[in-house]
Chains A and B, each alone.
Chain A
Amino acid sequence: MLAPAFADTPAAWPAEPHVSGWDFVVVLLLFPLGVFVLVWLAVTIPAFRRSHGQASGEPWGDRREWFGGPRRGVDAADEVTPDALAASEEKTGGASGRW
């Protein structure tokens, strides 16, 4: 004869602590929500503070950036001899402008 099996909590197990409705809300809703807010702030704040880059109207200051220049940078220009510079100026082309 078939019958459903029943089993009660073993008497040796400790009694289950009572979980109130407030505890339920804190653990399952407020705690995950707090973690979510912390992660969102950690991602968003650096993005807000990140530089927007140099605009042409802003002061540039003492920075020097040379793309495709010699490894020694501007120091290499200091070693150009006056004769070499004069010879170069005669043959080079180009143009100038201001804004």
Chain B
Amino acid sequence: MGPVAAGDGFTPEQRHDIDRAVRAAETVSRYEFSVYVGAAEGEPHAFAQRLHAALVTPDRSVLVMVDPDAHSLEIVTGTTVRRVLPDESVRLAIATMQSTFEAGDLAGGIKRGVALLADAARQPELLHTDEP
């Protein structure tokens, strides 16, 4: 059997939607979001850690790594983000992304996952308690 032809990749519209979802997540949460889609070099978790460490501000960053061919999904949260985005919330986002991916919607799953992570990382507004 010959090699299987690769899919079409993201359309410009899908790319734009994912980019917009990333920007919206950053606006909502005030943290940095990054989405990598592609094959992992070596073990997926270790590769995701390397990608996360390569970001400009890893402590304040969330990295989502999706390997469509290996069907693996990794989310890494930085030290600072982790305080407001616990691993339980990350697992919920992963479950949502998994179900969307299983339905065949790669871009949609990424968008939903990023939005869920951003909502979970949204910091509550501080009340000005020092005012009378």
Residues of A at the B interface (CB closer than 8 Å) are: 50-70, 74, 76-77, 79-80, 84-85, 88-89, 91-99
Query: Other CB < 8 Å A-B pairs besides A67-B15, A93-B90, A96-B74, 9 of them?
Result: A56-B101, A57-B104, A58-B6, A65-B36, A85-B49, A95-B75, A97-B74, A97-B98, A98-B98
In the complex, the answer to whether B69 meets A70 with C-beta atoms within 8 Å is: no
- Contact partner, B9, options A54, A80, A89, Cβ 8 Å: A54
Instruction: Determine how close the nearest CB of chain A comes to the CB of B64; give it in whole angstroms.
Output: 9
* Interface hub of B6, B7, B87, B109 (most chain A Cβ within 10 A): B7
- Contact partner, B105, options A50, A56, A67, Cβ 8 Å: A56
Instruction: Determine how close the nearest CB of chain A comes to the CB of B68; give it in whole angstroms.
Output: 4
In the complex, the answer to whether B8 meets A92 with C-beta atoms within 8 Å is: no
- Contact partner, A97, options B8, B19, B47, B95, Cβ 8 Å: B95
In the complex, whether B116 has a CB less than 8 A from a CB of chain A is: no
Tell me the nearest residue of chain B to A69, going by C-beta. Answer: B34
- The complex places the Cα of A7 from the Cα of B39 at a distance, in Å, of 85
Instruction: Determine how close the nearest CB of chain B comes to the CB of A62; give it in whole angstroms.
Output: 7
Which chain A residues lie closer than 8 Å to B54 at the CB level? 69-70, 76-77, 79-80
